[in-house]
Structure 1
């Protein structure tokens, strides 16, 4: 076992972390200084005892709802360290949805932020063992249950129930065991080799998200690093201010964050002057130009970024090219909530363009029904981090897990001869062309999103025709159209369609490109909710 552990449980893991890094700085926020790991450990231990005194013990379920803060993290660790099950719920879900998920998970107790308590209004807390206010751990409701005894935590104990993105009726509760979580902590940092006790990281993803809690939190404290939480929605403005304050050496993010920074900061610069547009048309001048821009890009991250860790989905090709040519250090990974989440990861020395890396230790990948010629098929995964199943949903569990223990990811891709994985899109999103060819909307979206005119994009088929809906970068559009005659305005959309279609095969060409008036509806990890947005009016 790794890390000197005798078993893969959160209590053993965190005790080892505190033992190794007691005097190092551990966790803070953009506004608050970090405390030491010793203080972190003492706070978690105190909270464990408080929970036990309230009758919350092994087998209990505790809902945790609030903005991601050190107090959120302490509650999360304390709950799992006594063998109880954490039930994280996104704080920006509608109030009725939060209440529904708390009830659906059969939560015994609640840890809620003051803001969430205020939103709940006249809520009946009497069925719960306790209500603990997250901000200061004050007990606001105590049912008076008999104190729970501390029991041994086992690897197969249910550690957390994470809800997948979607509307309430479609959210699934992913059940992850103690072993699922702990077995997924080590591989990313071990391959990367640059996350150490001297690293400074900024956590920008919510802790109620698998990437935010495992890869961007547990994997970071495994290395004894200094971790700061953003504690708010990761808008470009909030991020830029935080980079200036924290000056992170390590940054974990989903692709969309980097794609947005690229579209807001880099693409407008490239498209803004004829000389710059000329420079990016030739490989050798593009490389020099991107290297110069890359220097400024690194400065925007605080000037000492050693590596950006980008995971969860494929990165837009244009953005990956810019990061490479701009000499901005980054690695890609791939995962999903149902695998706790990491499935593949790169090392900095062996990264391959377009690939999200190879399988982490003890994880197997198979491609089901690969297409002839391309090798593209559905990605299947097996390993110790694969979920126990979906809460109260045996039908969905049976669809997702095969009898042999393989997890159906719903993603399509292929493996090269060395076992490196390349993502092509979601199985359910594939569009079948007029001659039976597979069209991947994500590929078209990647081409469109590279334009400085575009902030968000969604591609799908309607009546056998390819449709693209675009939410523009309004600031850039207004700047570029300033001074143009009235009849010339708005032509950027048609021009963009022609440009993108020139790069696509006939079957994939866009027939209709529509401008959206408001941003798309998104998940907690900033992914566009495809079905909901397709069905809404433009």
Structure 2
């Protein structure tokens, strides 16, 4: 159990204790650094901040793909006492510039390819822009009179002078910050308008990090494959912050995680914990497992007692091997897991669990180790860190809005007291906007978003996400969205063109096939949930940088 109460001291202690161990490897290039080298890189950036006039509390923006240098900039900023502003690389140039200006960032680290599309003159607060690729200066504000350029030119010499006897474990010493100081300013990729700046404090980070350490999600010498966006709170906390706090070896994937490339990387790295989003498991299930178990011979095997268990054992072994074979559990988060996929994984005893969180909690709200995980739930509210309640007359049976409070709850939205007051009430309860139920031990069951819930004329609550989960498992359906039109439910469907080619189905035959899909779907639904028709759409749904469908564009 960890007893250190300062985030920066957790990292200082970790870097000293794990000095000679591997810290970060770039999967693409193979370049690697030890904790000693990583700590020296941080010290070099601290010296750069100091000499360029960056003060504790100043904002440093960071935008680019996952790389070891991205991690170095992030960790250097929070251990210096400045505030990091991670920006998802998928944000448009206009949105990125708005975030940089809204945050008041004075320094920007960015990928060269993204920088080409930004306009420096439209970001007046930024003193300088530095390349994430090679650390070179990309731009400097004229009023700064070339100070950053001079510091960068002489940085190696300055570092050797500062640490004339070499950089040693005793030199790793970071300021102890006020727990309520802002460490991260994370802009959400909200689906109903421009994103808000979530103020995460050192206390919020400490809660997530400490839970991860105490739960042994990562541990000294363990291996992690980081493939989720580190600019998002989920990947940031459990693919970076927790691993670096204990001496884990992080391999940074650094590319779009297609299932084929990702499975190859998992086999190579053999991580001891896998952090993923539902889409990864759902694609593997739909593309590899489902076609196998729906074949007639397999259906016959599954109908024979004893043989079905042997088949499940075989599938489980293959799936475990595909994820590297040496992990304790797969933690699924970031979005709800498809019920059919979850039921199958539970049936074959695949070691997975589903957690629940949001950026505003940096991100974790609930998690249960896989052996105690209750299927259909999103884990148990973090004991000792968080508490939860349901705004419902019968929280165990009647869904209501999920509210949480505790160590992980954000300070508020940056420069937005009105929305902060609407989200966090006077008693400190954060209103999540999610609907669900809760058992007496704090286990949370999520139904859907409050804003997407459809109330029928006879008073029934319909959660479109639950219908979409069933529909997305149907043949020929790539993704879907259920909306209300003239008091009837309509399913917007983007077809699975790969499956159409595989089954030899033409565009002309597709409407008839969708009639069959609709018939099968409605057999799985309660009478009040049944869908009136399927409407095909020609292009993929427009999505946020977090890959959530922009529902508000289709609710017309």
TM-score scaled by structure 1?
0.91
2:543 corresponds to 1:519: no
Q: Cα distance 1:521–1:16, how it changes in 2: closer, same or farther (>3 A)?
A: farther
Question: Whole-Å Cα distance in 1 between the matches of residues 80 and 380 of structure 2?
Answer: 34
CA contact (8 A) 1:21 1:37 kept: yes
Offset, 1:284:
6.5
Q: Equivalents in 2 of 1:518, 1:263: separation in Å? A: 20
CA distance in 1, matches of 2:464, 2:114: 37
CA distance in structure 2 between the partners assigned to 1:326 and 1:442 by the alignment: 25
Pick aligned residue for 1:186 from 184, 207, 210: 210
Deviates more, 1:97-106 or 1:304-313: 304-313
SS in 1 for 2:532: strand
Which residue of 2 is the match for residue 107 of structure 1? 105
Q: Which moved more, 1:459-468 or 1:304-313?
A: 304-313
Distance 2:366 2:375 in 1: 14
C-alpha displacement of 1:124: 5.8
CA distance in 1, matches of 2:251, 2:516: 43
1:13 CA displacement: 2.3
| Deviation (angstroms), 1:126 | 6.5
Structure 2 CA distance for partners of 1:199 and 1:163, relative to 1, 3 Å: same
Q: Quick one: distance in 1 between partners of 2:12 and 2:117?
A: 35
CA contact (8 A) 2:351 2:371 kept: no
Alpha-carbon distance in 1 for matches of 2:261, 2:398: 42
Partner of 2:2: 3
2:64 corresponds to which of 47, 61, 66: 66
1:514 positional shift: 2.1
Match of 1:198 among 221, 232, 239: 221
Which residues of structure 2 form unaligned runs of 5+? Answer: 152-173
1:368-388 CA-partner distances (Å, limit 9, x unpaired): 124588231111001011111
1:353 aligns with 2:351: no
- d(CA) in 2 for partners of 1:98, 1:505: 44
RMSD between superposed Cα atoms in Å: 2.5
Aligned pair partner of 1:28 in 25, 30, 33: 25
Question: 1:413/1:287 Cα in 2 relative to 1: closer, same or farther (>3 Å)?
Answer: farther
Q: Distance in 2 between matches of 1:501 and 1:523?
A: 29
Post-superposition CA distance 1:475-527 (Å, at most 9, x none): 12221236x8x975553322121111101111100112122322222233322
**2:179 — aligned with what?**
155
Moved more, 427-436 or 370-379: 370-379
Q: Deviations over 1:66-94 (max 9, x none)?
A: 11111111101111111111111111211
Q: Is the alpha carbon distance of 1:489 and 1:139 closer, same or farther for their aligned partners in structure 2, counting shifts above 3 Å?
A: closer
The answer to whether residue 520 in structure 2 is matched with residue 499 in structure 1 is yes
CA distance in 2, matches of 1:172, 1:319: 33
Give matches, 1:228-267, under 5 Å.
228-267=251-290
Relative to structure 1, the CA distance from residue 432 to residue 278 in structure 2 (aligned partners, 3 Å threshold; closer, same or farther) is farther
> What is the aligned length?
526
What does residue 76 of structure 2 align with?
A: 78
Aligned residue for 2:209, secondary structure, equals coil
Contact 2:79/2:175, CA 8 A, preserved across alignment: no
| Number of the residue aligned with 1:134 | 132
Checking the alignment, whether the CA contact within 8 Å between 1:291 and 1:325 is kept in structure 2 is no
Q: What SS does the corresponding residue of 1:461 show, helix, strand or coil?
A: strand
Whole-angstrom CA distance in 1 between matches of 2:6 and 2:304: 52
Check the 8 A contact 1:454/1:472 in 2, yes or no: yes
- The reply on whether 1:397 has 2:420 as its aligned counterpart is yes
Q: Equivalents in 2 of 1:284, 1:506: separation in Å?
A: 36
The equivalences for 1:207-246 within 5 A come to 207-246=230-269
- Give 3-state SS (helix, strand or coil) of 1:510's partner: coil
Q: Separation in 2 of the partners of 1:356 and 1:291? A: 25
Give the whole-Å Cα distance in 1 for the aligned partners of 2:364 and 2:545: 18
